[in-house]
Structure 1
Amino acid sequence: MNLSETDNHSPTGSGQRRTQVARRAETRARLIDATILLLHKKGAAKMTTEEVAKAAGVTRGAIQYHFASPQELLKATVKEISNRLSKHMDVGKLRKLPLSDRIDRVVDQYWKGWGSNVYTAFVEMAVGNRLDPVLGQAIREVLVELEDKRRSSWLEIFSDSVRSTEEILVWRTTLLAALRGLALSRMLSGGKDTGDAQINQFKEMFRLYLDPSA
């Protein structure tokens, strides 16, 4: 075995490669975080790649290195937003709670996601790029994936309800439409407490629907 072969497989070389990979991942994450922040603060129409780079603390060349185009950066941002909005609900722990507590936890988690800056960024991106066929398709794919994940979890969490699977999913669709509307109202009004009273009403309605005997 010669020295060059030994050096190529040395722990130091491996560690350097891992460090480079970690740095690249960190820079990419910073660019995506900066994009989400600017989408929330300025909207898609006014955001520029120069501002994204500045907010991330990198050069514009870093964006070009990590993403083939601005659209690719936005597509990556869509995926990250999806991951944040679809944080895993611990079905096992939730199933151990009384039905009323489960409803509180699930509705609160949905509302926390849609009332966040992350959802504002998503709306800005979806509206600002609705005429872009490539990005529009990426957004639709993310939405389908997000819905599939949460639909399955929802059915598991409320599987002991007296309602049928179809009835539970219909109510879920109704609730989500209402929450999205409240989230948009909060965005437009700028009031942090907008929708809180309605959330409590939704919870009570949901309790009566899932367990009429309660």
Structure 2
Amino acid sequence: MPRKSVDVSPPVRKTQDRSTETRMRLVECAIECLAEMGYAGATTPVIAERANVTRGALQYHFASRTDLDMAVIDHVANELNFKLDAESLAGRPIEERVRQVIDTYWATFSSRTFRAALHIWLAITNDPSLAAPLRAHMQGMSEAIEGTWGTLFNDLGRTPEELRTMRHVAMGAARGFAVELIFHPGEKGVRERELLTRMVMSQLQPVAPGDRPARASSKREPARTPSREPTRAPRRKPAAPHK
């Protein structure tokens, strides 16, 4: 008679796994509700009901609505950054690297996850108590994405400032077109994505140290005071002789 398999997994690990699954389900349901109903409609009771958990379970994982909002923003950051295997991709041809980056940004900004995050950003912008921690949180995200770009394009001879500017342009263009797609859902932006890819590739072509133009000196020469010649009294015409 065959023996029944016995689950010997530690109880603590099972509890941790269930807790992680519940947390992820809450984040996913928050994204669904935000994308469908907007920020005002996606209340915590609605999200808890969608996730099939109690409000107490939601508060156990997220003490406040702000904590849940931050988790949604983190989900967007993971989609933008951690889908890219920067270390293995760094050795590939530049075209392959750039295409992978632009395709990842395009897909993420066109997703339901980004639309949910957009509802959060728009809703709390005018609330200083919520906007301040969100900005600080997003600063950490930006630094992580900047590190990925440094790893991907470290061999091209570009300065950190140049890479940062190019990253802002690439992400801003992909994000802006994704917002436009909200009003034109049938469009895919194939030509626009290809154009953005080629623009980024042209700006990231390798630069040899000798080819970089010298920067203008930031020191200013002291202003020269114009020299003034001594003022001379005008000559008087000799008086006409008396007749």
**TM bracket, shorter-chain basis:** 0.7 to 0.9
- The CA distance in 2 between the partners of 1:102 and 1:84, in whole Å, is 17
What is the aligned partner in structure 2 of residue 148 from structure 1? 143
Aligned counterpart, 1:210: 204
Cα–Cα, structure 1 residues 50 and 77, in superposed 2: closer, same or farther, change >3 Å? same
Residue among 192, 198, 203 paired with 1:198: 192
Per the alignment, residue 181 of structure 1 pairs with 176
Q: What is the alpha-carbon distance in structure 2 between the residues aligned to residue 15 and residue 160 of structure 1?
A: 47
CA RMSD of aligned residues (A): 2.5
- Point out the more displaced range, 143-152 or 65-74: 65-74
Gap runs ≥5 in structure 2: 1-7, 208-243
Partner of 2:65: 70
TM-score of the pair, normalised by structure 1: 0.81
Q: What is the CA-CA distance between 1:44 and the residue it aligns to?
A: 0.6
Q: Do the aligned partners of residues 164 and 84 (structure 1) sit closer, same or farther apart at CA in structure 2, a change above 3 Å counting?
A: closer
DSSP-derived class of the 1:131 partner: coil
* Alpha-carbon separation, structure 2, partners of 1:191 and 1:84: 23
Q: Which ranges of structure 1 fall in alignment gaps of 5 or more residues?
A: 1-11
Q: Tell me if structure 2 keeps the 8 A contact 1:74–1:135.
A: no
Q: CA deviation at 1:162?
A: 5.0
Structure 1 segments of 4+ aligned residues over 4 angstroms from their partners: none
Bigger shift: residues 31-40 or 61-70? 61-70
Match for residue 97 of structure 1 among 92, 108, 111: 92
Q: Are the structure 2 counterparts of residues 128 and 18 from structure 1 closer, same or farther at C-alpha, using a change threshold of 3 Å?
A: same
TM-superposed CA distance for 1:67, in Å, is: 2.9
Quick one: which of 22, 25, 33 aligns to 2:20? 25
- The CA distance in 2 between the partners of 1:176 and 1:167, in whole Å, is 14
Distance 1:189 1:61, change over 3 A: same
- What per-residue deviation string (whole Å, max 9, x for no partner) do you get for residues 164-192 of structure 1? 44323222222222111111111232235
2:46 match: secondary structure: helix
Report deviation, 1:136: 1.7
Q: What fraction of aligned residue pairs are identical, expressed as a percent?
A: 31
Q: Aligned partners of 2:156 and 2:45: how far apart in 1? A: 52
TM-aligned CA distance change 1:126 to 1:105, over 3 Å: same
- Cα deviation, 1:90-144, whole Å, max 9, x if unaligned, reads 2232222211121111111121221111111111111112233343223212321
User: 2:77–2:141: 8 Å Cα contact kept in structure 1?
Assistant: yes
1:79-90 equivalences in 2 (<5 Å): 79-90=74-85
Q: Which amino acid is the alignment partner of residue 22 of structure 1?
A: D
Distance in 1, Cα, partners of 2:59 & 2:164: 43
- Listed as ranges, the matches of 1:157-176 within 5 Å are 157-176=152-171
Q: 1:58: which partner in 2?
A: 53
8 Å Cα contact 1:103/1:207 also seen in 2: yes
Structure number having the greater helix percentage:
1
Paired letter, 2:204: L
